[in-house]
């Protein structure tokens, strides 16, 4: 009961201080695996830099433990840590559960942001683009209008598919997860902060720039909220530990109602991603979620 009262009080206080959530037409999560703060700072990323300059950026966002891929992307998209959603390693599958989630739908999946918006937001269109097969396992397919998986680290085609999806559904609210694992694989193969790792980030930035330019030409940029996300950093040839290089990542947001050129100083965690998305859409988050909205980013 106390938790419910606290949640209601928080939402009311947030509305009183900040007003109604800023309205955008769509939300796009630009998601690169394995981007450390040092890697992002070193790489030449003019397109991401221009995008984030129009919004707010944290260079001290913490990931959940363990600092590996599936627990962390699941946490981004569920507003919860492994202790809630039960995904504690990269080997999770619906029929191979070590730790049961605290709640689940009829098919056994923990509620993600896609689960919630499909129920609460009329006409919303959802899409999930990825190139690491395990990434989609924690999600119920029924909550998506389009899903695209590419093999062998391919990702450019998914940027094209995401653009086409947004254009096709431009009259409807839209939530898009646009992901690539090739940056993480470059770290594993060549070492974090190696020239090859840095190049992988720069190559992604080129495609991000082309994607953003096409949205601008279609007049679909200004009313879109973009989020720049990663799941962990790395040291040497791996990750999974608790060092700063593994546990701290960049986290950015831009779009209608977001402060421009703002450095996020308040504590931030990757579980806040889904909570922020629901706030942008005016939807209350499930009680099982633990994420919070970084209200300082709003004008």
What b-and-e string marks burial along 244-256, b requiring 16 or more CB atoms within 10 Å of the CB? ebbbbbbbbbbbe
| C-alpha count within 13 angstroms, C-beta hemisphere, residue 229 | 32
The residue extents of the domains of the chain are 24-297
Total Cβ atoms within 10 A of residue 96: 8
pLDDT digits (tens, 9 = 90+) for 238-296: 999 999 999 999 999 999 999 999 999 999 999 999 999 999 999 999 999 999 999 99
Map tokens 């007003």 to a residue: 19
CA–CA gap between residue 62 and residue 291 (Å, rounded): 12
Kindly report the pTM of this predicted structure: 0.92
Distance of CA 275 to the CA centre of its chain: 11
Q: What's the pLDDT score for residue 19? A: 55
State the pairing for strand pair 55-62/248-254. antiparallel
pLDDT digits (tens, 9 = 90+) for 227-242: 999 999 999 999 999 9
Q: Does domain 24-297 have CATH number 3.40.50.720?
A: no
What would the DSSP string read from start to end of 3-37? HHHHHHHHHHHHHHHH-SPPP-SEEEEEEETT--H
Can you give 51-106 as a three-state secondary structure string? Answer: HHHCEEEEEEEECCCCCCHHHHHHHHHHCCCHHHHCCCCCCCECCECCCCCCCCCC
């Amino acid at each position: 009961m106390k938790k419910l009262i606290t949640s209601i009080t928080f939402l009311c206080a947030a509305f009183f201080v900040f007003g109604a959530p800023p309205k955008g037409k769509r939300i796009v999560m630009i998601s690169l695996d394995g981007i450390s703060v040092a890697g992002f700072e070193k790489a030449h990323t003019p397109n991401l830099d221009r995008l984030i300059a129009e919004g707010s950026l944290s260079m001290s966002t913490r990931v959940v433990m363990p600092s590996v891929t599936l627990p962390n992307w699941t946490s981004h998209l569920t507003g919860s840590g492994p202790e809630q959603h039960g995904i504690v390693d990269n080997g999770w599958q619906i029929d191979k559960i070590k730790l049961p989630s605290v709640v689940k739908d009829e098919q056994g999946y923990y509620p993600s942001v896609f689960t919630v918006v499909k129920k609460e937001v009329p006409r919303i269109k959802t899409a999930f683009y990825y190139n690491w097969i395990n990434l989609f396992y924690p999600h119920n397919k029924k909550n998506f209008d389009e899903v695209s998986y590419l093999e062998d680290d391919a990702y450019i085609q998914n940027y094209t598919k995401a653009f086409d999806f947004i254009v096709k559904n431009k009259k409807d609210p839209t939530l898009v997860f646009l992901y690539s694992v090739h940056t993480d694989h470059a770290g594993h193969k060549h070492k974090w902060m190696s020239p090859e790792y840095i190049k992988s980030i720069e190559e992604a930035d080129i495609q991000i720039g082309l994607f953003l330019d096409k949205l601008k030409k279609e007049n679909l940029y200004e009313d879109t909220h973009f989020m720049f996300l990663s799941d962990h950093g790395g040291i040497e040839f791996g990750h999974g530990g608790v060092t700063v290089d593994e546990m701290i990542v960049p986290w950015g947001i831009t779009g209608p109602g977001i402060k421009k050129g703002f450095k996020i100083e308040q504590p931030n965690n990757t579980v806040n991603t889904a909570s922020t998305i629901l706030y942008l859409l005016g939807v209350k988050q499930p009680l099982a979620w633990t994420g919070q909205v970084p209200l300082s980013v709003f004008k």
